[in-house]
């Protein structure tokens, strides 16, 4: 695929990266995983995404940070416990279908090597459309090409860069959540929503906009096509135990994931779009 005026391909270790720089923003997409690694709008030149200093770029293990594409399941597979968490497309090499310059930025469309894999029945066309504009819009489109309905789970598992997890607050969630760190207890979302321990929560609510308030700096996240927002920070002990995170890596990241955790049905010949917009 020929890059356009605003795009170039470079190689990092075993991975090809698509750099995009247009009049509005800078972004970087790893073809391994169809995985966005960077987004910096030019109006403030602030990096929105966090990538671990110790992330693997070996084209085998998932990249820690950025926006992993979890599909067609989220977390462990429901019945086949030997299968990789979060599905199989985040460890595939994706192909660029098109790069297009528009009035408002650049649109890149990618597809995984294959959407078929152990643990998922379904004939699907899976496409990721990334609009790099003043804001970043990510659309994961699942089209059912078969003649029977299918069900999938998924997440745009975004890692946001913050200056200090202990000072930051997440605005916009208010109902109950399921707490994975406490045996999936159903608890009330704290008001204010601040962070002082390992956090792994599924919020089954769909507020239009969430905001990470990092002191005076605010990052807005808009979601659609989801049934849940997942909020994750591994905190210190887990960071230390993870080979692809520095011991204090947890201090400068917060995952706010636009997710499908309850099963999304897709009828034959229809497309479901999971979308996240980052401002
Ligand atoms: O380490 P990974 O497979 O990338 O998963 C990282 C995290 O993803 C989600 O946020 C899950 O809710 C967590 O339970 C999991 O630890």
In tens, the pLDDT along 145-159 reads 999 999 999 999 999
Give the residue whose CA is nearest to atom 14 of ligand 1.
200
| pLDDT number for residue 3 | 65
Quote the CA–CA distance of 197 and 56 in Å, as a whole number: 26
Q: List, for residues 228-267, the tens digit of each pLDDT value.
A: 999 999 999 999 999 999 999 999 999 999 999 999 999 9
Instruction: For residue 242, give the ligand 1 atom closest to its CA.
Output: 1
Is 54 among the residues known to form the active site?
A: no
Once rounded to an integer, what is the mean pLDDT over residues 10-30?
96
Closest residue CA from atom 3 of ligand 1: 85
Atom of ligand 1 nearest to the CA of 84: 3
Cα of 91 to ligand 1 centre, how many Å? 15
Interatomic CA distance for residues 95 and 98, integer angstroms: 9
Ligand 1 atom closest to residue 86's alpha carbon, by position in its atom list: 3
DSSP string, the chain: ----TTEEEEEETTEEEEEEE-SSEEEEEETBTTEEEEEEETTT----B-B-TT---SSSSPPSBSB-EEBS-SSS-SS-TTSPTTBSSTTSBEEEEEEEEETTEEEEEEEES-S-BTTB---EEEEEEEEESSSEEEEEEEEE-SSS-EEEEEEE--EEE-S-GGGEEEES--SEEEEGGGTTEEEEPPSS-B-SS-EEEEE----SEEEEEETTEEEEEEEES-SEEEEEE-HHHHHHH-TTS-TTGGGGEEEEEEEEEEEEEE-TT-EEEEEEEE-
Average pLDDT of the residues of the chain: 97
CA 77 – CA 191 distance, rounded (Å): 32
- Residue 209 has what pLDDT? 96
For residue 137, name the pLDDT band (cuts at 50, 70, 90): very high
What average pLDDT does this structure show over 103-127?
Answer: 97
Q: pTM for this one?
A: 0.98
What are 52-100's pLDDT values in tens digits? 999 999 999 999 999 999 999 999 999 999 999 999 999 999 999 999 9
Instruction: Name which residue sits closest to atom 11 of ligand 1, judged by CA.
Output: 75
Query: Domains in the chain and their CATH numbers?
Result: 7-278 (2.70.98.10)
Question: Is the CB of 62 within 6 Å of ligand 1?
Answer: yes
- Out of 35, 86, 133, 257, which one is annotated catalytic? 257
Ligand 1 midpoint to CA 75 (Å): 7
User: Could you say which of 35, 86, 157, 226 is catalytic?
Assistant: 157
- Cα distance between residue 273 and residue 279, in whole Å: 19
Residue 166 to residue 190: CA distance in whole angstroms: 15
197 is catalytic: no
**Nearest alpha carbon, ligand 1 atom 4:** 64
């Amino acid at each position: 695929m020929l890059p356009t005026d605003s795009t170039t391909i470079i190689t990092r270790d075993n991975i090809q990266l698509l750099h995009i720089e247009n009049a509005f923003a800078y972004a970087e997409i790893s073809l391994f995983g169809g995985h966005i690694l960077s987004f910096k709008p030019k109006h403030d030149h602030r990096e929105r995404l966090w990538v671990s200093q110790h992330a693997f770029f070996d084209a085998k293990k998932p990249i820690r940070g950025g926006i992993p594409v979890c599909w067609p399941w989220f977390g462990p597979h429901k019945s086949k416990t030997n299968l990789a968490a979060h599905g199989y497309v985040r460890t595939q090499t994706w192909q660029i279908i098109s790069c297009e310059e528009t009035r408002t930025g650049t649109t890149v469309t990618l597809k995984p090597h294959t959407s078929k894999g152990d643990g998922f029945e379904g004939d699907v066309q899976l496409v990721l459309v990334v609009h790099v504009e003043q804001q970043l819009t990510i659309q994961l489109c699942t089209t059912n090409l078969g003649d029977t309905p299918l069900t999938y789970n998924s997440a745009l598992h975004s890692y946001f860069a913050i200056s200090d997890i202990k000072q930051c607050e997440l605005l916009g969630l208010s109902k109950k959540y399921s707490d994975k760190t406490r045996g999936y207890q159903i608890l009330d979302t704290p008001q204010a929503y601040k962070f002082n321990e390992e956090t792994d929560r599924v919020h089954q609510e769909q507020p239009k906009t969430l905001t990470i308030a990092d002191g005076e700096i605010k990052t807005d996240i808009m979601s659609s096509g989801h049934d849940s927002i997942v909020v994750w920070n591994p905190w210190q002990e887990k960071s230390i135990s993870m080979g692809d995170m520095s011991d204090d890596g947890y201090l400068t990241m917060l995952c706010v994931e636009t997710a499908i955790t309850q099963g999304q049905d897709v009828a034959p010949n229809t497309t479901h779009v999971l979308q996240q917009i980052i401002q």
